[in-house]
Structure 1
Amino acid sequence: MTSKPEIWGLLVGVNHYLPGNKRRVKYGDLSGCVKDVMALQSYLEKRNVRHITTLTSTKGCNGRPEEDESQLPTHPNIIRELERVIEDSRPGDLVYFHYSGHGIRRDADEIGAVEGDHISGTALALADVMEGGAYLTGYQLGVYIKRMVFEKQLRVTVVLDSCFSGRGFRSAESEEEGYTSRRGDDCIDLEFLQSDQEAEGAARLLDTDEEYTDGTRNGMTIRSWLSDPTGCTVLTACESNETAGEYTFEGEKHGILTYWMLKLLSENPETCRPSYNKVRDYIANNIDRVHSAKKQSPVLLGDTDHVFLGQEQVVEKPVGHVRERRPNTDTVELDIGWAHGVAKGAIYDVFLERDNVTTGSISKVKAQVTEVPDNSPFRSRAILLYDPEDSSTAAQVKPGSVVILQTWSLHLDAFVDISSLHQHLSEDQIEGLGSHIKQTPGLFLGSDVEKPEDQECDFQVALNKDNCFEVLLFENGKYTTIPRVTPVPFSDSDWDFKIAYILRHLARFRDVRSIDSKRIDTPLNPEWFSFSVEPDDEGYGDDFEKDPKDPTALRASEDTNLRFSFKMNNDCKYQSVFVSFYDFDASWGISKLEPGPGQVHEVTKQTPVHFTIQMMIPEKCTQQDPEEIVDTVRVFISTTRTNWEDITLPELPSHACTVPPVIVTVPSDELDAETTERGPEVSQSLFDLSSAEDDDKFDSRNPKRKPVVKRTPHAQSQPRNVWGFMDLKVTTFPKS
């Protein structure tokens, strides 16, 4: 019988900084760090955690710390405790490391910090650094955590409630009542004392991974393993150019990150702990709601799809949120819009902020989208739907409540021709198939609507010679078989549901891929960014080739490892942008490639993004499917942190027996009648970029005509989000 894994907690809180003149940077005392640690210790003890070590620094009456020297948060003491965990733990155990205190950057552009990120180049300012004690750098901490993961097979959680200010920091901020920043009196400390050299040397001796040490001179510029860990999750309080703070909650100072994290954890029972994604999401939304004047964006790195401080993986659907609710009404505003594929008629499950939402969770309240404004790509309006007995739950829906897509609607109307089936099916069968198709708003039977005589339907359903239903696509003047879409046998008792599912899936894929370039009103200069791909190995050989006429089209053989790179060019006017990478694949799925769930990459001129994927050819659905396949890798770019995960779509299954035999009926009585006016197909460009200000003006939208983007400035408008995307198309062919 396998024993239950133990949990090891190492909690570090620095309120008092020992005075000294060994460094030019000065650190003022804080108030909430020790309280953070004590609250965390209490939480862990309630979880019956037996191995908890706390290292704290509290100012005593004589100006020295109250704690014994062996229990102070100094570099030797922290390393001692990290080594003890490595020595005494067993494979499979869980480790929790928490730091509350000041943080600082230890790198700068002029010394070559070209690989900086949220962890690399940062340092935790320990209690004795002004007396000459060593910083604990992001690189050094990564060395010890990596040993835990790979030498002892431990799963590690690292939470850093401190500042990592540096790049882009302009001036000291004014402190509002109840708020204190967790940074020193400077943004960057480049001094390298003897204690720093010794700490660095000790870490170097333990680190054999050349990827993290090659070509660098000291810990100020070495890339930290924690910047992209495996078997470990890292949660930091803010971006590298932001300030983390502590705030007065109910009369006591706490770190903003730690307070909201513990609030969520304490509200969820031990048997139903939230995932890391849920924790970060909850913290970010409360910071935005309660501390909106302070720019502090929690960052999540590593394995995010696990239960917080647990071994269980959880599968969570991408989420949006209720942004506002009109007083005394069921009208809500959502933080997702047409840029995510949202269209009028879409149905979302609604969960209260405290709910632990996983796959299979059932909501008592729905939100049906009623308006999608042209001038706000990331906003929509919806009405709450619920049974009378669930009115008390509906009344608790407020800003921060979670919404999860249940049934999508189409903004590009799609028409289906089933005329060829009349000779094979009864009227009841035809009527049944038609009713299933029309359950998706925006999906119509061609016979039910008025359209130009020369306008063909987008899709056709036909019965082939093997007595199987096929879905055909109209292109180049004729209907053609869609590759890697499984035929559905007539003998399948659920054939009508399955055909309807395939049609709505293909229409959704087309909708998301065809983000409306006609709505872009202020494009960015495409020369500001570079998006490229090269073989992961040196040389092209016969496995990789570029199209000399089209720099966005590439060819690679199956199993080739391709390294994608995105960077901000020197002439870009922005200090940073946020990016996420998605694959529109040959099996009609949309999946996130990089970074992990719930995360986005921040890119600066010094911090490009690189990732590698292995090109694969999916299983054929029929013998006629082509040998070669095409993937479109798209990078979404935005000037504010933007989550695109609502666009994800599972691949169509390769066998009819695994096609879901059900679709969700959409209540339509709440919506206005939809127009069926057809317009020109949406064009796509290599670089489609759009900008819009959040605006309280909502339009009644006809997606088939060019919108009029309104400009209604107002004092409370949110920061402008300029956004767009770039595509690379990769054809994968079989090996010779």
Structure 2
Amino acid sequence: MPNRWALLIGVDFYFPGNAREVQFNHLSGCVRDVDRIEQYLRGIGVHNIERLTSSNVGKANEPGETDGGTYPTYHNIEEKLDGIRGTVEEGDLVYIHYSGHGILRHELKDLDDEDGDAITGTALALADVMAGGAYLTGYQLGVWARRLVEVNKVRVSITLDCCYSGRGHRGPGIVLRTSEDSEFDGVPLESDKAADAAAVAVEAELPEPDTDDDEPAPGQRNATVKRSWLSSPEGCTVLTACQVNEKAGEYRFEGQQGRNGILTHWMLDLFDRHAGACRPTYARLAQHAKSSMRTAMSLDRPQTPVLHGDSFYEFFGTSRLIQRPACIVRVSKQPGSLDTQLTVDVGTAQGVAKGAVYTVYPPSWDLSLPEGQQQAPGSRPHSRNDGVAAPKVRVDKPSVFTSSAIPIEAENIQQDMAIVMGSLAVLDTWSLSKTWRVGVESTGEEHLAQDQRFRATVEDLVKEITAIPEFSLHSRISTGGSPACEFLVSLNRNTRSIEICDGRGARLHRVPAVPIDDEGAVAKVAYMLKHLSRYKALANLDYGRPPDSLATDSYRFELLDRHGQALQPATTDKTYHVENGQAVTVRFANQSTTENVQVAMFMFNATWGIERIYPEDGQPTAQAVPSDTQALLCGLDMYIPPPAHTDDPPDIYDLIRAYIYVGDHPPSWDELLLPDVPPDADLLPVDLPVEPVLEEDLGGGSDDDTRNKKPKRPSRKPHKVTAAIDPWNMLEFRVHTRPSK
């Protein structure tokens, strides 16, 4: 078992001084954060714990601590980390927790494409910064963490419970953890320059990175703004309390003797709920903190925790887990009634229609799997409460980003599985937004009479399709006909297989045929029909189109080549043309003047899968600030997947879409996720894997047969919504990938 090491930093007291143009007020909850985190760590068997704290005990010029070697200063932090670095062994775990003030070292408008994140350009305001001590910048901390990861071969995780901007609404009872008289300090002291030079020297000795992504464009890079390795680390996880333009603070929570950092408190709250079970992932910690700030604290403008790096590792552990998308359940009393109303935080914008079914789990349950282990359809997550049936709810009235739901068999819900505020809802069965017409085509009555297996297969297909509520069976026709339907199921006599075609009878690209003699043939065809319908419904926005309240002319969404130069799409249909294996970059720029927007980018790929390509796993959206030079960038390698049948074309088309949201409660778009359809019918499931599990492998295989490379990162009308909603919209383009010349 690896050894675990922790460095806990809490800054309540700030030494007075006028060395800087900004001032920092004392805080009161940071040392308490350290105390509570230390207590938790010791409870899970961590004994190698270092502390650096400055307590505010009412003294004018000094903290409660008397040993200067324990003050949270730049040099003391460097010394403690050097001590850990000299002691750790390969495979060990290192955790760093900081609670205190933070500040921007550069105005947001001065950062470029390479610096648009929640770490670069920021600094931790340590106890002696007003007296001339150095800030600890995100760049410097990143160099130290990278050295631990790449040289010492340890895994590092970092929590930063601070913020960098004091602007905006100040919530009741909240003390901000940043300077309130200036949002940035761009004047470096000699101590800052020396600290930066030392970090540059350390970085120069580290292994060369494998990519040239951080090479500056000539004449375009501000030489004083260095990119933090923590912005996109490997072997490391970083959880920050908020985005760079938001506030983080400390608050007096019920049951606590004083204030605590809001992020730290909700982290510990989830740890308590997981007592006796495996520890939650960093992604789950961020989700719990975000939802608790909204539901339990009712903040008008809650913090949005930001994750970087390996979000699906368990906290302070070595296990990487597969996280299942889950949405939060809110419970409220109906006016004038004793009945409660259930609301799930997902709606039509994310592909929800009336009739969708969700399984609901208590907030403490672990909705994850060890990496490499698959979740069987309909099975339940791990929990210390295994053996207890989880309740289900059915969506009754979908809205844009929320949906009301009603319990299924409410009288059978056991008390310890009661649906409460903050419960987790996981998709069980989706509902399509319209009726899909499906035809079944055979090769003639004479052949059916001669081949009993064929006749039985046709009968079973008709029965199976008829049983699916969203499907309308089209009458069977003879070969050569043209049914008025979206899908045509064709039985091929020559190959003795079942093929899925479009309404004109042409085989769908990269959809495998299912042998008639396959024991689960009919179930596999039904699975593919449901999967293909879901894909097309989401691609065509059948669940509901964006409102007109958010114009898209202030945003730029484009494809760049490997050198950062804009490619030119076809003028007729906005399709980019690239070659197999070509490296490209997807770029989103917010060219408005005032509004931040939240963005998530998805690829609707040629193998009928929907994958989120940006931001990284565990972070549902990324913030794009108003700046044409501070864009969101996602690198992709474009590859043509192997064919599923001989009629597959040599080229492919992928759809890349950016979902854009303006408001204080950015949604998760992970409900859109769909796995790829495998190229071999043997790899098809016989039931719908309703949980779109992140990173689940439907069929295994080597890297050589990967279908799509991941990023280097009469119908029912859609529900009409009349209530006021936060505006959202989308931009998209297609990418045509051709064989290399």
1:470 aligns with 2:499: yes
Q: What are the within-5 Å matches in structure 2 for residues 591-602 of structure 1?
A: 591-599=611-619, 600-602=621-623
**What is the rounded CA distance, in whole Å, between the counterparts of 1:144 and 1:581 in structure 2?**
31
1:380 aligns with 2:403: yes
DSSP-derived class of the 1:21 partner: coil
DSSP-derived class of the 1:262 partner: helix
Aligned to 1:229: 233
Aligned to 2:53: 56
Specify whether residues 431 and 384 from structure 1 end up closer, same or farther in structure 2 by C-alpha distance, changes over 3 A only.
farther
1:710 aligns with 2:722: yes
Aligned to 2:196: 200
**What is the rounded CA distance, in whole Å, between the counterparts of 2:178 and 2:322 in structure 1?**
36
**What is the rounded CA distance, in whole Å, between the counterparts of 2:70 and 2:214 in structure 1?**
31
**What is the rounded CA distance, in whole Å, between the counterparts of 2:685 and 2:523 in structure 1?**
8
Deviations 1:225-279 (A, max 9, x none): 1122221111111111111111112132111100110111132146511111111
Q: 1:300 aligns with which of 294, 297, 307?
A: 307
**What is the rounded CA distance, in whole Å, between the counterparts of 1:348 and 1:517 in structure 2?**
17
Q: What are the within-5 Å matches in structure 2 for residues 141-152 of structure 1?
A: 141-152=141-152
- Residue identity matched to 1:621: A
Specify whether residues 85 and 434 from structure 1 end up closer, same or farther in structure 2 by C-alpha distance, changes over 3 A only.
farther
Specify whether residues 508 and 141 from structure 1 end up closer, same or farther in structure 2 by C-alpha distance, changes over 3 A only.
same
- How far residue 418 of structure 1 moved from its aligned partner, in angstroms, is 1.8
DSSP-derived class of the 1:729 partner: strand
**What is the rounded CA distance, in whole Å, between the counterparts of 1:473 and 1:190 in structure 2?**
61
Q: 1:605 aligns with which of 626, 646, 652?
A: 626
- Contact 2:434-2:717 within 8 A present in 1 as well: no
Aligned to 1:10: 7
DSSP-derived class of the 2:506 partner: strand
Specify whether residues 145 and 583 from structure 1 end up closer, same or farther in structure 2 by C-alpha distance, changes over 3 A only.
same
- Residue identity matched to 2:465: I
Deviations 1:618-641 (A, max 9, x none): 121112211101111111111132
User: In the comparison of the two structures, how many residue pairs are matched?
Assistant: 669
1:43 aligns with 2:40: yes
- Residue identity matched to 1:86: R
Specify whether residues 392 and 289 from structure 1 end up closer, same or farther in structure 2 by C-alpha distance, changes over 3 A only.
same
**What is the rounded CA distance, in whole Å, between the counterparts of 1:185 and 1:515 in structure 2?**
44
**What is the rounded CA distance, in whole Å, between the counterparts of 1:182 and 1:7 in structure 2?**
28
1:181 aligns with 2:153: no
Deviations 1:671-709 (A, max 9, x none): xxxxxxxxxxxxxxxxxxxxxxxxxxxxxxx97447654
- Contact 1:410-1:443 within 8 A present in 2 as well: no
Aligned to 2:559: 533
Q: What are the within-5 Å matches in structure 2 for residues 220-299 of structure 1?
A: 221-249=225-253, 250=255, 251-269=257-275, 271-293=277-299, 294-299=301-306
Aligned to 1:317: 324
Aligned to 1:647: 672
Specify whether residues 85 and 553 from structure 1 end up closer, same or farther in structure 2 by C-alpha distance, changes over 3 A only.
same
Aligned to 2:698: none
Aligned to 2:432: 410
- Residue identity matched to 1:255: G
- Residue identity matched to 1:204: V
- Residue identity matched to 2:390: V
**What is the rounded CA distance, in whole Å, between the counterparts of 1:110 and 1:632 in structure 2?**
31
Identity %: 33
Aligned to 2:488: 460
- Residue identity matched to 1:405: L
DSSP-derived class of the 2:655 partner: strand
Specify whether residues 627 and 175 from structure 1 end up closer, same or farther in structure 2 by C-alpha distance, changes over 3 A only.
closer
- Contact 2:357-2:395 within 8 A present in 1 as well: no
- Residue identity matched to 2:252: T
Q: 2:602 aligns with which of 567, 576, 582?
A: 582
- How far residue 512 of structure 1 moved from its aligned partner, in angstroms, is 0.9
Aligned to 2:386: none
Deviations 1:336-388 (A, max 9, x none): 11111111222211111111112446273343434344xx3112222222485
Aligned to 1:733: 738
- Residue identity matched to 1:367: K
- How far residue 459 of structure 1 moved from its aligned partner, in angstroms, is 0.9
Ranges of 4+ aligned residues in structure 1 off by more than 6 Å: none
- Residue identity matched to 1:118: A
- Residue identity matched to 1:463: L
1:497 aligns with 2:492: no
- Residue identity matched to 1:283: A
- Residue identity matched to 1:408: W
Specify whether residues 391 and 496 from structure 1 end up closer, same or farther in structure 2 by C-alpha distance, changes over 3 A only.
same
Structure 2 unaligned regions, length at least 5: 370-374, 382-388, 692-713
DSSP-derived class of the 1:657 partner: helix
Greater shift in the superposed pair: 96-105 or 420-429 = 420-429
**What is the rounded CA distance, in whole Å, between the counterparts of 1:426 and 1:393 in structure 2?**
50
Specify whether residues 217 and 85 from structure 1 end up closer, same or farther in structure 2 by C-alpha distance, changes over 3 A only.
farther
1:446 aligns with 2:464: no
Aligned to 2:586: 564
Aligned to 2:650: 627
Using structure 1 for the length normalisation, give the TM-score. Answer: 0.85
Greater shift in the superposed pair: 641-650 or 83-92 = 83-92
Aligned to 2:711: none
Using structure 2 for the length normalisation, give the TM-score. Answer: 0.85
- How far residue 411 of structure 1 moved from its aligned partner, in angstroms, is 0.5
Specify whether residues 521 and 176 from structure 1 end up closer, same or farther in structure 2 by C-alpha distance, changes over 3 A only.
closer
DSSP-derived class of the 1:550 partner: coil
- Contact 2:112-2:221 within 8 A present in 1 as well: no
- How far residue 447 of structure 1 moved from its aligned partner, in angstroms, is 4.7
1:107 aligns with 2:113: no
Deviations 1:98-129 (A, max 9, x none): 00011111111565566342111111110111
Structure 1 unaligned regions, length at least 5: 667-701, 714-719
1:657 aligns with 2:682: yes
**What is the rounded CA distance, in whole Å, between the counterparts of 1:305 and 1:118 in structure 2?**
19
Deviations 1:619-670 (A, max 9, x none): 211122111011111111111322100000000111111110224899xxxx
- Residue identity matched to 2:729: G
- Residue identity matched to 2:486: D
**What is the rounded CA distance, in whole Å, between the counterparts of 1:122 and 1:586 in structure 2?**
40
- Residue identity matched to 2:616: G
Specify whether residues 203 and 533 from structure 1 end up closer, same or farther in structure 2 by C-alpha distance, changes over 3 A only.
same
- How far residue 389 of structure 1 moved from its aligned partner, in angstroms, is 5.0
1:65 aligns with 2:83: no
**What is the rounded CA distance, in whole Å, between the counterparts of 1:457 and 1:24 in structure 2?**
70
- Contact 1:563-1:612 within 8 A present in 2 as well: yes
1:636 aligns with 2:659: yes
- Residue identity matched to 2:634: F
- How far residue 5 of structure 1 moved from its aligned partner, in angstroms, is 1.0
Deviations 1:377-420 (A, max 9, x none): 112222222485543245x2122111111221110321211253
**What is the rounded CA distance, in whole Å, between the counterparts of 1:508 and 1:51 in structure 2?**
51
- Residue identity matched to 1:105: L
DSSP-derived class of the 1:43 partner: helix
Specify whether residues 517 and 724 from structure 1 end up closer, same or farther in structure 2 by C-alpha distance, changes over 3 A only.
farther
DSSP-derived class of the 2:363 partner: coil
Q: 2:380 aligns with which of 357, 362, 368?
A: 362
**What is the rounded CA distance, in whole Å, between the counterparts of 1:414 and 1:330 in structure 2?**
35
Specify whether residues 370 and 428 from structure 1 end up closer, same or farther in structure 2 by C-alpha distance, changes over 3 A only.
farther
- How far residue 295 of structure 1 moved from its aligned partner, in angstroms, is 2.5
- Contact 1:200-1:218 within 8 A present in 2 as well: no
Aligned to 2:187: 191
Q: What are the within-5 Å matches in structure 2 for residues 428-443 of structure 1?
A: 429-438=457-466, 440-443=468-471
Q: 2:361 aligns with which of 331, 338, 351?
A: 351
- How far residue 331 of structure 1 moved from its aligned partner, in angstroms, is 5.0
DSSP-derived class of the 2:532 partner: helix
Q: 1:723 aligns with which of 701, 723, 728?
A: 728
- Residue identity matched to 1:559: G
Specify whether residues 552 and 87 from structure 1 end up closer, same or farther in structure 2 by C-alpha distance, changes over 3 A only.
farther
- Contact 2:396-2:406 within 8 A present in 1 as well: no
Aligned to 1:77: 76
